Amino acid sequence: MNRRDAKRKESAAGKSPHAESARLKPRAQKERARRERPARERDARMTPPPETSASETPDDLIGGRNAVFEALTAEKNRVNRVLLSDQAQGVDDIKAAAAERHIPVLFRPKEKLDELGGALHHQGVLAYVSPVAYTSLDDMLETAARKGESPLLILLDGIEDPHNVGAVLRTADAAGVHGVLLPARRSASLTATVAKTSAGAVEHVPVAKIGNSVRTIRELKEKGFWIVGTDMAGESLYYEADLTGALLIVIGSEGKGIGRLVKENCDFLVRIPMRGSITSLNASVAGALLMYESLRQRTSRKIVEGGAK
C-alpha cells in the first residue's frame, strides 16, 4: 500500500489529520477565549469613560446674550467669569455689566465656545456661574452689626486651588467668620468643587468678589479695620498678636504667599512657628490657626468683660 492509499484509508476511517484538526479547532478557540476573558475585562475596567457628548452641558455654564446679561445684572450675583467669542457683535452691554461687578471677561475663538457650550445656543456668549450667589462687603458688615459683633473677615490672596477655598469656608463657618473675600483675578471662584469641599459651608458663609485687593484693604481701614497678614517673616507669632476688634485676615498661597502690594498695606504681619523641615503650611491650615486664635481671643475678652460688669 502506497502512502496515498494509506491516507485515503485513514480518511475513510475518520482519522484524517485535517479532520482531527477541524474537530479540535472549536475546542481550542473556546479555551483561548476562556483564558483571554480576564484580560479583556481588565482592559475594559481600565478604559476611561467617554467624554461628555455635545448634547450635555456643564451645570455651572449658561449661554446666550439675554441669559448672561440677566445673570450679570441680577440682584444676587452668581457669575464667576464671562467668555465672549472673538467674533461676537453687540455685546458692549455685557462687557459693561461685567466690568461694573469686577467680573473677568475672556475672549475665545467661536470653535472653543461651541466645544464648551455643547447643546447651548450661546450666540457667542457664555458665563460660568457659582452654585450660590455672591454677596457684597456691605452686607457682611451689616450682618456683623446686626449680631452685635466686631466683624471678622478673610481675604484669600492668590489662592487658586478650589479645595483650599472650600476648606477655608468650612473653617470660617465653624469659627464664626462674617465673610470671605475672593479677588476677581488670580483666585479660585465658587464652583461645585468648592461647594463639595466646604461640606455645605458655602451655603452659610457669605462670599464676596472684589476687584482690587489693595483698594478693598484701604476701604476697610477707613471703616476702622485692622489688617493682619500671614507671612514667614512676620514680626510676631500669630498667638501674640491682638486679633480682636474689626479685623481682616489676609491669607496668601502656599507657594508665593501674599502679594507684595497687599503685604505693604497690611498693618502687621504674623508668622506661624515651624519646628520641622517643612517651611510652610497649607493655606487652609494656616487660615484655620488664625481664625480660631481670633475666636479664642474674642471669646476670652467677652468673658473678662462680662465678669467686670
CATH of the domain at 97: 3.30.1330.30
Q: Is residue 8 part of a domain?
A: no
The pLDDT of residue 284 is 94
Cell of 236: 510676631
Instruction: List, in sequence order, every beta strand (DSSP E) within 115-232.
Output: 125-129, 152-157, 179-183, 207-210, 226-230
CA 3/CA 289 separation, integer angstroms: 95
CA atoms 146, 207, 83, 192: torsion sign: negative
Cβ-proximal residues to 273 (8 Å cutoff; 6+ apart), any chain: 237
Q: Is residue 47 part of a domain?
A: no
Q: Do 280 and 142 share a structural domain? A: yes
Last residue of some domain: 75, 108, 129?
Answer: 129
Local mean pLDDT, 10-residue blocks, the chain (309 residues): 49 47 53 53 39 45 88 85 87 91 89 84 88 91 95 95 94 96 88 88 92 94 96 92 96 87 95 86 93 95 61
Q: Do 145 and 112 share a structural domain? A: no
Q: Do 156 and 283 share a structural domain? A: yes
CA 235/CA 217 separation, integer angstroms: 20
Q: Is residue 239 part of a domain?
A: yes
Strand partners, 229: 250, 269
Q: Is residue 83 part of a domain?
A: yes
Q: Do 296 and 222 share a structural domain? A: yes
CATH number at residue 181: 3.40.1280.10
Cβ-proximal residues to 209 (8 Å cutoff; 6+ apart), any chain: 77, 101, 102, 103, 134, 182, 183, 184, 189
Residue with cell 461640606: 199
Q: Is residue 40 part of a domain?
A: no
Cβ-proximal residues to 257 (8 Å cutoff; 6+ apart), any chain: 230, 231, 232, 263
Q: Are 176 and 295 in contact (CB under 8 A)?
A: yes
One-character DSSP codes across 10-56: HHHTT--HHHHHHHHHHHHHHHHHHHHHHHHHHHHHHSPPPPPPTT-
Q: Is residue 172 part of a domain?
A: yes
CA 177/CA 295 separation, integer angstroms: 9
Q: Do 161 and 267 share a structural domain? A: yes
The count of domains in the chain is 2
Q: Do 220 and 289 share a structural domain? A: yes
DSSP state of 158: S
Last residue of some domain: 129, 160, 180?
Answer: 129
DSSP state of 176: T
The closest alpha carbon to 266, from 255, 250, 251, 252, belongs to: 250
Q: Do 234 and 162 share a structural domain? A: yes
Q: Parallel, antiparallel, or unpaired for β 207-210 and 268-271?
A: unpaired
Q: Is residue 54 part of a domain?
A: no
pTM of this prediction?
0.71
Residue with cell 483561548: 32
Last residue of some domain: 129, 149, 181?
Answer: 129
The pLDDT of residue 25 is 53
Q: Do 180 and 98 share a structural domain? A: no
Q: Do 154 and 280 share a structural domain? A: yes
CA 201/CA 263 separation, integer angstroms: 28
Task: Residue 121: give the domain boundaries.
Answer: 61-129
Q: Do 94 and 142 share a structural domain? A: no
Q: Do 174 and 86 share a structural domain? A: no
Q: Is residue 205 part of a domain?
A: yes
CA 69 to chain CA centroid, Å, is 24
Q: Do 173 and 114 share a structural domain? A: no
